[in-house]
Amino acid sequence: MKSILFVIPWKASLINCGDIDVSQYIERAPENVVALATYLNAQGARVEIADLNRTLLSCKGDVECCLNLLKQQCQRFNPDIIGLSFFTARFEYAADITTYLRSVFTDKTPLIIAGGVHPTLLPTITYEYINFDALIIGEGELPLAAILKGEPLNQIQGVFLPGQDIPTAADAIKNLDCLPFPNWDLLDKNFYAQPSYLISYTQLNRVMPLSFSRGCMYRCNFCAHSCFLSARCHSPEYFVEMMRLTSKQCNVNSFLIQDSSVGNFKEEWSKVCELLISSKTNYNWWANLRVNQVDEDFLRLLKQAGCSKVFFGFESGSQRILEKMNKKITTEQCYKAAELCHKLDVPFYSSYIVNYFGEEEEDLRSTEEMILQTCPTSLAINKFSPIPGSVDYNKNEDSIKPYLTSIHNWTTLGMLLSPVLFGNMTSERFDYWFKRLKALKNKINNYEDN
């Protein structure tokens, strides 16, 4: 079987970061690439990960030093295939890294391919900017296994070659339990497990991310849901064993459950909770939950099973805006979810989007009111950007395109930093409201830190 080196491009904020407080910078461990690497390794492939976030931090933000270390890893490991994994926010850095890799190999260049959210969503645009040998559309496990076994690229489902017209997605793994448990030794697990504000938002525990399910059955207009294939979950028994093994391997008792919402598979997640309670684990965990899936019994069960914080996407205090977003929740459900959290003493984080299409000052006033009345434990205020993979991007592609004149602008869009105002107010009034809500956020989050 052939060998593969996965490359994870760095994130923008690490460039030239210098000597920094690492706890402010560590993000979640890249569970997706570890899952892929573990799977291929179990099939007999030689696998390594070049985690350039980790490397760039150890180089104190010096990109040249980071690329040099990547070169040394390539020379030592000598892979047949190099596979980059990236979402839109790292498109630009994937281009820089690929150009560098092509200059490093003077004799036999490995096959340089890419997968992940951005190549899946925008394969043709990816080829316009980056000279990849192949792109993988959708979940990487099955096509990568076929490539590593030496099957011809043009016969593998999910492989999109330069010059081809229509990409087809790879088959999704139907039974997630057939995947091996993640081998965290494939990256610097101690680096990722160390306490970080970016992961926990406040509680500083050693923590690792884990996913019980993949995909989402909702279709909110602002979300890049078209990168998901069907929604599936592990069996509760498999997942609790995955927690146990990860806890042992990484010396953590805290987990961040990455699922879109643990209420998407409510019955199965309830069983996970029951297993955690009956096996008397002392794990604590945080998870996303949609407000339309909250009820008192479920929340009580989550708490009893170790849930120490719930993440809600309230998105807006205005029902009109929630409907425009196709969020399929009501403001009443948001208030009710917050009330239940206070009643059962479950800390919660609520996240809002501002600058949405047609937003009026009145809508922002309702958002402010919701924040004040629901008293979240922590708060996020995000400016809306039509992100690739979302309905909002697809519907507005023509008006967004003129702005996308360089790969750097794609990065900005991918980081949700579009400079365009989508609401119905002047930029002065929007700035006024944005500052006002941000100040509220700082007050709430600081209060929690103390």
With respect to ligand B12, which residue has the nearer C-beta, 105 or 335? 105
3-state class of 361 per DSSP? helix
Out of 52, 144, 156, 340, point to the residue binding ligand B12 (CB under 6 A): 144
DSSP 122-144: -HHHHHHH---SEEE-S-SHHHH
Write the binding mask 256 to 285 for ligand B12: x where contact by CB under 6 A, - elsewhere: --x-x-------------------------
Sequence-ordered list of residues with C-beta below 8 angstroms from that of 48, at least 6 positions apart, any chain: 4, 5, 6, 37, 73, 77, 79, 186
Q: With binding defined as CB under 6 A, does residue 225 bind ligand B12?
A: yes
Cα 413 from Cα 133, distance rounded (Å): 25
In this structure, are residues 98 and 132 in contact, taking their beta carbons and an 8 Å threshold? yes
205 contact choice in ligand B12, ligand SF4, none (CB below 5 to 8 Å, kind-dependent): none
Cβ 292 to ligand B12 shortest distance, Å: 18
Main-chain dihedrals φ then ψ at residue 331, nearest 5 degrees: -65, -35
Out of 54, 214, 234, 290, point to the residue binding ligand SF4 (CB under 6 A): 290
Reported as half-sphere exposure (CB side, CA atoms, 13 A), residue 336 has a value of 13
Sequence-ordered list of residues with C-beta below 8 angstroms from that of 86, at least 6 positions apart, any chain: 8, 9, 93, 94, 114, 116, 117, 118, 119
Write the binding mask 213 to 232 for ligand SF4: x where contact by CB under 6 A, - elsewhere: ---x-xxx--x-x-------
Angle subtended at Cα 41 by Cα 40 and Cα 43, rounded to the nearest 5 degrees = 65
Q: How many residues does the chain have?
A: 450
Q: With binding defined as CB under 6 A, does residue 260 bind ligand SF4?
A: yes
Q: With binding defined as CB under 6 A, does residue 200 bind ligand SF4?
A: no
Out of 40, 97, 114, 340, point to the residue binding ligand B12 (CB under 6 A): 114
CA end-to-end distance (rounded Å), the chain: 54
Out of 52, 70, 89, 176, point to the residue binding ligand B12 (CB under 6 A): 89
Q: With binding defined as CB under 6 A, does residue 266 bind ligand SF4?
A: no
Scanning the structure block, which residue is given the tokens 């009501």? Answer: 330
Which tokens go with 211? 């996913």
3-state class of 327 per DSSP? coil
Q: With binding defined as CB under 6 A, does residue 291 bind ligand B12?
A: no
With respect to ligand SF4, which residue has the nearer C-beta, 114 or 176? 176
Q: What is the gyration radius of the CA atoms in the chain, in angstroms? A: 22
With respect to ligand B12, which residue has the nearer C-beta, 227 or 294? 227
Interaction with ligand SF4 in 130-189: which residues (CB under 6 A)? none
Q: With binding defined as CB under 6 A, does residue 201 bind ligand B12?
A: no
Sequence-ordered list of residues with C-beta below 8 angstroms from that of 60, at least 6 positions apart, any chain: 17, 18, 19, 20
Q: With binding defined as CB under 6 A, does residue 376 bind ligand B12?
A: no
Cβ 423 to ligand B12 shortest distance, Å: 18
Cβ 401 to ligand B12 shortest distance, Å: 15
65 contact choice in ligand SF4, ligand B12, none (CB below 5 to 8 Å, kind-dependent): none
12 contact choice in ligand SF4, ligand B12, none (CB below 5 to 8 Å, kind-dependent): ligand B12
With respect to ligand B12, which residue has the nearer C-beta, 301 or 445? 445
H/E segment holding residue 266: helix 266-278
Q: With binding defined as CB under 6 A, does residue 271 bind ligand SF4?
A: no
Q: Which residues bind ligand SF4 (CB under 6 A)?
A: 216, 218-220, 223, 225, 260-261, 290, 313
Q: Kindly list the residues in this chain that would bind ligand B12 in the complex (CB under 6 A).
A: 11-12, 27-28, 30-33, 35-36, 83, 85, 87-90, 113-118, 120-121, 136, 139-141, 144, 211, 214, 223-225, 227, 258, 260, 382, 387-389, 414-416
